[in-house]
Amino acid sequence: MIIGIDLGTTNSLAAYFTESGPKIIPNRLGKHLTPSVVSIDEKDQIYVGETAKERMLIFPESSACVFKRDMGSQKKYTLGKREFVAEELSSFILKALKEDAEAYLNEEVTEAVISVPAYFNNERRKATKRAGELAGLKVERIISEPTAAAISYGLYQNKENAKFLVFDLGGGTFDVSILELFDSIIEVRAVAGDNFLGGEEFTQVLEQMFYEHHKEIGKNSLSMKTLGHIHKQAEICKLGFSENRVSKMVCNINEEQLEYTVDTEEYERNCEALFEKIRQPIKRSLSDANIRITDIDKVVLVGGGTKLWIVRKFVSKLFGIIPDTNINPDEAVALGAAIQGAMKERNKAVKEVILTDVCPFTLGTEVVLDRGNDRMEDGHFCPIIERNTTIPASRTERLYTVKDNQTKIRVNILQGESRFACNNLPLGELVIEVPAAKAGQEAVDVTYTYDVNAILEVEVKVISTGKSLRKVIKSQYTELDDDEIEKRLKEISYLKIHPRDKEENKFLLLKGEGLYEESIGLDRIRIEKALQKFEDALNTQNHTIIEGAKREYKEFLEEIEEKE
């Protein structure tokens, strides 16, 4: 059986698919949520979940939480006498979820779909897969958290065609996804997020307000145990706003009871900096999807952080609509992951649903820029497949030699958003020989093809000789073997044909050229502008832009023909 797992910053949970839909798997304590906390005692006994959370209050030096934020890094967590990295700590959580699922389902669980924040890069995703493997799970698919939530809403709550935004504020991360649902297709239009923004930050605001109110206690002089106690009370105070306009912190510090009462208006004012951080990914995703806020039909809230009243008020005010909370925000991601597992199993209940995704990060290469006056500046990043491009996708960029008698061109394969190559993540490289000639006379076409299985194919072809080199970069969480990868790349080889070379587009360009030659005066100027606009659209190699431009161009040609 394939189960779905939401490996969260604050809490984790698992779900499985049944004939009546996805269901949450209760843990050994009968609860749906398992705190993402690990603790270890003096006998090296490892505790996870609720027990670890309670131990952390008494033994903070041998406990860890919020480690998901460091997935993919080498940061060490010291628990007693032992050290762990984030993926090892995560594996303990995953193993506990696996054991709970086996006990509840009364069968062995060996496979899982695990969710990650949309903005996790390849290294973080690889670390998540390794954590699953350490827990004894075969990780069939890594799925973005907002996409998983959208699947659960798209399949079971939304039947009409709509554009909707998934607002996912978890304990430690914030993600936003814009999706479009039509017929049986859920298309991801754009994703954005912040890996260091979540419910924890809203708790920390209350902590800071408490310290400012009780300046006499001296935060820096407090023990880890006391700091943990204050953090817990701040969390309780935050949760208190769900039922009351006023909430209270009661902390026992140095045998003295200190209280702090706060109302929602004051708390909301102090959270304004966090709301501004939330606005940035929303703006970026709307811009990348090329839509306005008013185009959003529905906003879906996901993650425990969205249960906070001031967050719901902020979302309602920003979008001008009441957000949808039909599915428990804590459970939507796990339910969607379970549905994704059912899709992979070709379950009849979900087989008609098609899910498209986007490339979350820009893929490109390093180039040299001509700054004029014979000054060449290297180390710049040239995007080829930009972030939030619907995948599968293929894009081609032509690169030229920059030195006289240059005999090699090196293509560094990079992932990231910085304009400087050194700031982006290197994925590999290709070096191809070119004939010696004057600078700029030799060129190569660099084609990137990216698939939903996180397979990147890079082809470099010398224009003058036709010689080519090819490299396939396979993500470590891709389960396909080499033969399956080649088969998949063959299936999407049609994407490598430049839009300019497709027969229908060739025909339309030739038709425009013919009408230009037959016309004079103002009509000739109008036709030239329309041709240029269509050619510019073709050069973007963006299917959505091209289809819109094609419709406009064809209507224009029909208008000219009718006039004649």
Helix axes 543-563 and 503-518, enclosed angle (nearest 10): 30
The pTM assigned to this predicted structure is: 0.67
User: CA-CA distance, 288 to 6, in Å (whole number)?
Assistant: 27
DSSP SS3 for 68: helix
Contact at 8 Å (CB) between 463 and 443? yes
DSSP-assigned states of every residue in 497-550: S-GGGSHHHHHHHHHHHHHHHH--HHHHHHHHHHHHHHHHHHHHT-HHHHHHHH
Phi, psi of 234 (to 5 degrees): -65, -40
Q: What is the CA radius of gyration of the chain?
A: 27
Q: Which of 195, 199, 192, 145 has its CA nearest to residue 169?
A: 199
- What's the rounded Cα separation, in Å, for the pair 290 and 238? 36
Separation of alpha carbons 93 and 95, rounded Å: 5
Per-residue pLDDT of the chain (564 residues; tens, 9 = 90+): 899 999 999 999 999 998 888 999 999 999 999 999 999 998 889 999 999 999 998 999 999 999 998 998 889 999 988 899 999 999 999 999 999 999 999 999 999 999 998 777 777 888 999 999 999 999 878 888 878 888 887 654 555 677 889 999 988 889 898 888 766 667 778 888 888 899 999 999 999 999 999 988 888 888 988 999 999 999 999 999 987 899 999 999 888 899 999 999 999 999 999 999 999 999 999 988 888 999 998 899 998 899 999 999 999 999 999 998 888 999 999 999 998 888 777 665 555 455 667 777 889 999 998 877 777 888 999 999 888 787 778 888 999 999 999 999 999 999 888 889 998 888 889 999 999 999 999 999 999 988 766 778 899 999 999 999 988 886 544 444 566 556 655 654 555 566 667 778 888 888 888 888 777 778 888 888 998 898 888 888 777 788 888 888 888 888 888 776
End-to-end CA distance of the chain: give it in Å, rounded.
66
pLDDT at res. 477: 41
pLDDT given for residue 278 in this prediction:
96
Q: Which of 465, 459, 463, 539 is nearest to 496 (CA)?
A: 459
User: How many Cβ atoms sit within 10 Å of the Cβ of residue 348?
Assistant: 9
CA–CA distances in Å: residue 410 to residues 172, 371, 399, 472 = 40, 20, 10, 16
Q: How far apart are CA 158 and CA 353, in angstroms?
A: 13
Cis peptide before 392 (omega within 30 of 0): yes
What's the pLDDT at 271?
A: 96
Closest CA to 444 of 389, 385, 361, 365: 365
Measure the CA–CA gap between 479 and 488, rounded to whole angstroms.
Answer: 13
pLDDT score of 478: 47
All residues at 6 or more sequence positions from 75 whose CB lies less than 8 Å from its CB, including other chains: 85, 86
Q: Would you state the pLDDT for residue 474?
A: 67
| pLDDT score of 485 | 53
Looking at the chain, the number of H-run helices and the number of E-run strands are: 14, 27
Residue 156 pLDDT: 45
List, in sequence order, every beta strand (DSSP E) within 170-303: 174-182, 185-194, 246-253, 256-263, 298-302
The set of residues, in sequence order, having a beta carbon less than 8 Å from that of 310 and lying 6+ positions away, is 241, 264, 267, 268, 271
Structural tokens at position 510: 């030739």
| Pairing relationship of beta strands 174-182 and 185-194 according to DSSP bridges | antiparallel
Q: Would strands 2-6 and 111-116 be described as parallel, antiparallel, or unpaired?
A: parallel
Angstrom CA distances, 224 to 51, 58, 468, stand at: 18, 9, 60
